[in-house]
Structure 1
Amino acid sequence: MNERSQLLKGILEGCILAIISRETVYGYELAVKLQQQGIDVKEGSIYPLLLRLQKEKLIHGEMRASDSGPNRKYYTLTSAGEASLEAFRQNWNSLKSPVDQLLDRGGS
């Protein structure tokens, strides 16, 4: 596994929760939204994470009819998911600035 994949593995859950907090999405749509943000994740790696998040009751999945093709499972954030996302935001913010400072070649 390359360095980018390792880094992404640690933050992907928070990114997924952030997208779902903004709108109800289905798996493929979620993969597209991540790619639009420059986060290249294979669709197949998202579904196991969605399943785990659902088992942990951070998201809720609901089958709905689709205008084009078979039914799709749409995901929404639960109150536990909102709390988890807020914890992720706080952890991310506490790490982002110090890491940026360390990586900034102009810093001391």
Structure 2
Amino acid sequence: MTSAVERAQTQLRKGVLEYCVLASLRAAPAYGLELATLLGRDRVLLASEGTLYPLLSRLRTQGLVATTWQESTSGPPRRYYELTDDGHAALDAFTATWQPFRDAVDSLLEDPR
């Protein structure tokens, strides 16, 4: 049985994980495991790697990220993900709407009247 906290986390992840991935790629390209480690470090944003790779594939299909293969010194080649111009635009749009949205939610949680 899923707890109320788990249900709330799942719903919040569905809404923001895509943009957290884009934000993680803002400074530099990264490969999947790198992103999984970064996003999963506190177990809040990413519950499992199983949700990340389908999301990365969808972002690629939507043209928000581009991929390249690069050789690795410690194993097989790695697929690196990098923001496209459309990815930057999507992240900018989310950033512009996030703070007012977050502030409105915080305001209701602190004082619903």
Q: TM-score, normalised by structure 2?
A: 0.87
Instruction: Tell me, yes or no, if the aligned pair for 1:31 and 1:41 is still in contact at 8 Å.
Output: no
Q: Give per-residue Cα distances to partners, 1:5-34, cap 9 Å, x unaligned.
A: 111111000100000112211111101001
Equivalent residue for 1:9, pick from 8, 11, 14:
14
Partner of 1:34: 39
Instruction: Tell me, yes or no, if the aligned pair for 1:57 and 1:80 is still in contact at 8 Å.
Output: yes
Deviation at 1:99, TM superposition (A): 0.4
Runs (5+) with no aligned partner, structure 2: none
Matched, 1:49 2:64: no
Flag as ranges the 4+ runs of structure 1 deviating above 6 A: none
Q: Give per-residue Cα distances to partners, 1:44-86, cap 9 Å, x unaligned.
A: 1101110111111110110110111111100110110000000
Matched, 1:78 2:88: no
Partner of 2:71: 65
C-alpha separation in 2, matches of 1:67 and 1:49: 26
Runs (5+) with no aligned partner, structure 1: none
Identity within the alignment, %: 40
Q: Relative to structure 2, which stretch is displaced further, 44-53 or 28-37?
A: 28-37
C-alpha separation in 1, matches of 2:82 and 2:33: 15
Q: TM-score, normalised by structure 1?
A: 0.90
- What is the Cα-based RMSD across aligned positions, in Å? 1.6
Aligned length: 107
C-alpha separation in 1, matches of 2:68 and 2:49: 19
